[in-house]
Structure 1
Amino acid sequence: MTEGAQDRERSWKDAWPVLVALGVVVVAAAGIGISYLIRPADERMSTDAQVQHAINDAYTARNDVDYQKYRASTCAADVASAAFPNESTFVDQNRKSFDENGHIVIPEITGITVSGDRARAQVHWHFDDKPDQKQVTDTVVVREDGDWKVCTS
């Protein structure tokens, strides 16, 4: 390198490639951010994740003794069934279960298979106060009006 090239002062033109690259990154990040704001979280989730979310909602409703959330996370056929509990029965059963066993804990949901608007999964769970009594429940989840809901059949 010659002595004159070393002494040359840097100008803003030397930074031009870096500024262009920075601009591209900012525009790309803004586009991704806007897409996340516009699209609801449920639409960004995979189908398997939506099924897991529906199962989690049903168990969380039981843990919270939240009858309205439980109804909302259950398929229409089950809600219309004569066997579906009314609010007082639901509250009594779940408070008693909580007092005797603690919260329901779901360490994992496995074996998710989706076929159209129906899915099956194995829910691995136990009670907080009885971690050594692990259980696995086969669970059916159906899509109704775009939302996944837990169903008995």
Structure 2
Amino acid sequence: MTGREIREFGHRWASPEGFGAYVGWLHSQALADSPRPEGFVPSTTLWWVEDEHYLGRLAIRHRLTASLLEAGGHIGYDVRPSARRRGHATAMLRAALPVARGLGIASALVTCDLTNAASRKVIEANGGVFADQRGEKLRFWVPTS
């Protein structure tokens, strides 16, 4: 979840209606004509769960802006701290690749911080090919097929 999402919806998550509104908003963000903040692109959000436990999320951006081409990429993921170092991030990225392919993305740009060795390993384990470093970000192209 991004800070903006938590600020906008977090206070309503305790009720089924409020949480449903958040889920509905997430679904709407995948639609090309949905309103979104300036600079944001259509994106598909997937949650990674184990039984009833939320473990993390994926954001698959349908296209790139100049800013996303520099640092954000097509696919972003995060795993809650208590679920890290158990292979979830590798499995999550693997699961995202066919979704990206279905959106017409042949090779997905995935980035990580220069100092995030764990994320680099996740990307490389999924076939990521190092492209370059831009500032504090490493950029990889990952085939989706």
Answer 1 or 2: higher relative contact order, Cα 8 Å, separation at least 6: 1
Q: What TM-score do the two structures reach when normalised by structure 1? A: 0.24
Structure with the higher helix share, 1 or 2: 1
